[in-house]
Amino acid sequence: MVAFDGAAAFKGIDHCSSVGRESHTVVADMDGTLLLGRSSFPYFALVAYDVGGPLRLLLLLLASPLAALLYYSVSESAGVQVLIFATFAGARVRDIESAAQAVLPKFYSTDLHPEAWRVFSACGRRCVLTANPRIMVEPFLKEYLGVHLVIGTEIEAYRGRATGFVSRSGVLVGRNKAAAMRKQLPEESPQLGLGDRETDYPFMQLCYVVQPKPGLKPVPIEKLPKPVVFHDGRLALRPTPLLALLTLLWLPVAFPLSCLRVAAGSLLPLRFTYLAFRGLGVRITVRGTPPPPPQKATGRSGVLFVCSHRTLLDPVILSIALRRPIACVTYSVSRLSEIISPIPTVRLTRDRAGDAAMIKRMLQEGDLVICPEGTTCREPFLLRFSSLFAELTDEIIPVAMANSMSMFHGTRSRGWKGMDSFYFFMNPAPAYHITFLDKLPVEITCGGGSKSSHEVANYIQRAIGSVLSYEFTRFTRKDKYMALAGNDGTVPEPEKAEQK
C-alpha cells in the first residue's frame, strides 16, 4: 500500500467524480472531511453534558485551552488526548455508548459536508479512519451513513468505567492512521482517500483534499440514507466553546427562573396563568376557535382533545389556552410531575379494557386530553396514533401542538425525567403554538358507521400533520425506546418513572 507524504499529488474534492464508484473502497477522515466542522469539541461537549452534567461540561471547557495549546504547539495527538480525558475519565462506558447512540447522530447529521458526501456515498465500500474515539462515532457512521468499517481511537476502561486514557495504539493521527488501516485492511488497497489536513496524508493512497469553504451548507436531512427521527440529550444546540460557556453562565439564572415559571403554572388559577407566563417570557400562541366548556345539564359527554405530543406539558398548555383545567390521561409520569401538575392526571394501565372504561368515565365528567402517539417526538414527525380513543367517543377535536426551545430540550427518554418540565422552562424564551382544528364530522367518526377506529386515528394524524407540515410515520413508543434506551419503554411498577 502506497502512502504519499506530500500534498502535490492531491486534488480538491470538487475535482473528484462520483460516477462509476460502486465497486470502489473509500477511506475518509471525519472532522473537516465528512463533517463541515473541523473541531470535535462540540461532540465531546455533548457527551460530557450527557454523562456528567454541567460540572463535566465545565471541566471540558476549562481543559479546552490546554488542548488547543498542545494541539498546535506539541502534537494533534496530545490535544485530542486532553479532550478525551476531560470527557471520559470516570464515566461509565455504557453511558458513553448511550450518548453516542441517542445524542450525537442528530448533531452529526446536520453537519455533513456536501462534496465529501457526494463522493463518499457513491462508493460501494465505505471506511472511516478518525482520531475521535470509535465509541463516539461508530453508531452514527454505521447506522445512518452505511459505513462498513470504523477505525478510531480506542479508549481504556476499568470495571465498566473509562479511565480517560487511550489504548497502546494511541490517538489515531498521522502514521498511526496508516498503521491502523494496514492492520484492518491488510489485503485491500482503497481506491479513494478523503482528508483535509497534512496529518491525513500518510494513510491515503489516492487522496482528494476537502478544503474549507465559507458559507457551504450541510447536506439536507432528506438526502441522508436514514433520517434521525429519535434523539435524546438535553442540549438543543451544537455547543461550540462559546455556546458551552454561555450555557454554563445561564444555568445559575435559568434554574431559579424555571422554578418561578413552574410555580406560576402550578399555583395560579389557569385564567391568570397565561398573563403570568407572558410576563415571565413564556409565549403561548393560540390559533383556531377553542370550544366552550361542556354543559353538564345536557347529559352529553365531554369533548376529547386529541393532541400531537411534544412534551409532558402539552395538556397543561392546552388547559392554559382554554383558561380551565382539562383532565389528561398519562402513562407512568414521575411523582414529581404529578405533584406539580395544575390539572387532574390519571394513569393508563396498558390494559385495553380497563383503560377504555376509565376514559369513558372521565368523559362523562367533562372534557379530556389524550396524546395517542403515546410518547413525545422532537423532530417534525408524527408517530403512529393509537386507535383506542376513536372507539370511545365521537366528540373529538384534533389539536396541533408545536413548541420551540433554543437551549434545552424538555423531553428525555433515559434517566430520571422528573426534570423535564424544569428543563423546558430553563430556556430563555420557550414557546408553544396551539392550533385547534374543527371538530370531527359525524361521518368521519366510528359512530358514523363507515369508519373503523384505525381509519379515524389515521385521519386525525394526517389532519394534524398537514397543519404542522410534519411527516407521518408508523413508528411507535416501542420503536422510540428501542432506538434510544434499548428497551420497549415499559416501566416496572415499583420503579415507575416518567416515560413520555
pLDDT of residue 295: 67
The segments of the chain whose pLDDT lies below 70 read 1-9, 186-188, 199-207, 295-300, 488-500
HEC per residue, the chain: CCCCCCCCCCEEHHHCCCCCCCCCEEEECHHHHHECCCCCHHHHHHHHHHHHHHHHHHHHHHHHHHHHHHHHHCCHHHHHHHHHHHHHCCCEHHHHHHHHHHCHHHHHHCCECHHHHHHHCCCCEEEEEEEEEHHHHHHHHHHHCCCCEEEEECEEEECCEEEEEECCCCCCCCHHHHHHHHHHCCCCCCCEEEECCHHHHHHCCCEEECCCCCCCCCCCHHHCCCCCCCCCCCECCCCCHHHHHHHHHHHHHHHHHHHHHHHHHHHCCHHHHHHHHHHCCCEEEEECCCCCCCCHHHCCCCCEEEECCCCCCHHHHHHHHHCCCCEEEECCCCHHHHHHCCCCEEECCCCHHHHHHHHHHHHHHCCEEECCCCCCCCCCEECCCCCHHHHCCCCEEEEEEEEECCCECCCCCCCCCCCHHHHHHCCCCCEEEEEECCCCCHHHCHHHCCCCHHHHHHHHHHHHHHHHCCEECCCCHHHHHHHHCCCCCCCCHHHCCCCC
| Residues 25 and 79 occupy one common structural domain | yes
Whole-number pLDDT of residue 383: 95
- The answer as to whether 351 is a domain residue is yes
pLDDT of residue 173: 84
The answer to whether residue 278 sits within a structural domain is: yes
Q: Is residue 368 one of the residues assigned to a domain?
A: yes
Short-list 415, 417, 420, 414, CA closest to 485: 414
| Residue 240 covered by a domain | no
- Claim to verify: residue 405 and residue 262 sit in the same structural domain: yes
With respect to residue 236, please indicate whether it lies within any of the assigned structural domains.
no
- Provide the CA 321 distance to its chain's centre, in angstroms: 27
Note whether residue 472 is domain-resident. yes
Provide the whole-model pTM: 0.90
144 and 40 co-located in one domain: yes
The domain of 402 spans 252-495
Residue 231 lies in a domain: no
Residues 6 or more apart whose CB falls under 8 angstroms from that of 287 comprise 433, 434, 435, 436
Residues 460, 351 share a domain? yes
On whether both 263 and 214 belong to a single domain, the answer is no
- Same domain, yes or no: 172 and 292: no
The pLDDT score that the predictor gives to residue 96 is 97
Residue 340 belongs to a domain:
yes
pLDDT value of residue 5: 35
pLDDT in tens, 147-160: 999 999 999 999 99
Last residue of a domain, one of 173, 208, 223: 223
pLDDT of residue 188: 67
Are residues 418 and 465 both part of a single domain?
yes
